[in-house]
Structure 1
Amino acid sequence: MRDAEEFDAFYAASAGNVVGHVYALTGSRSEAEDAVAEAFMRAWQRWPAVRDADSPEAWVRRVASRIAVSSWRKTVNRLRAHRREAVDQPVPGLSEDHVALLQALRHLHPHQRRAVVLHHLNDLTVAEVAAEMNTPVGTVKSYLVRGRRTMAALLAPTDLPQEEKNHA
């Protein structure tokens, strides 16, 4: 019974963070929730090993990310096979800033996107991002610099009056 209570506490403390991470990666709340549910199910099945991992939340986040990417790849392949184009469906209740952020994230290389999401949205240190991505710290720093530069260009205001542009 101790395992179930411990897992329930772990789930309650980390599920929201993991869903937010996968949502930022995929741009789809429902896909994120599905991937995270599957990841937590796998974590429960392996709870003794997951509990002893350096970071059980990182384990679940990594599994959920892989599930989401796998699901995305299957979807893309299915769409290509049927020669249909995906239709973006609006998500109610999102602010313009939130939508702009998600669109900018989609323009990043997947490694850059993952590093930016882990570092800026999940508040992991560069070293923690490097460990989770199994990548050298210097490479993560490069992903972050390039990702931020790309996003800054995509998110820069373009409708400033000429007078404000001259002072910017």
Structure 2
Amino acid sequence: MDTFVTFYRDTYPGLVAQLVAYTGDLGEAQDVAQEVYVRAWQRWRRISTYDEPRAWISRVAHNLAISRWRRARVAVASWTRHGPPPPPAEPDAATADLVAALRRLPEAQRRALVMYHIGGFTVGDIARAEGVPEGTVKARLSRGRQALAPLLAVDVRQP
């Protein structure tokens, strides 16, 4: 690992400068460099044996910069051809009321209600995700429904 850290420290400034010259944008150059060094770290055992690992970094960086440029060009062409996507629909009054009411509940109850009723998770799924017993999830759901009902003027009594 020490060799990679040294390699990174020694080559990063030069690679970013090289990429700024390719892309004309410092932020883009830094993003590409970050991706290159992630790839290099994953393959460091092999790359470190190369006569010139810096050449590998440079080549991959150049290829990534070109690939990103091509993806951007395709996106612009698509935008030009099809126009922007339609704006998202405004939430209806009932949805806005539900969100406002959910904000007034304790976080744990809110998460349980949203995961169960909107996300489609089972009680067991929620228990595993939250790291609590299923009984705790059931209690959160019950208490959350009871607290939510008066906020939405809904009758939650079971038949």
Return the structure number with greater relative CO, CA threshold 8 A, min gap 6: 1
TM-score by length of 1: 0.47
Q: Name the larger-Rg structure.
A: 2
> TM-score, structure 2 length as denominator?
0.49
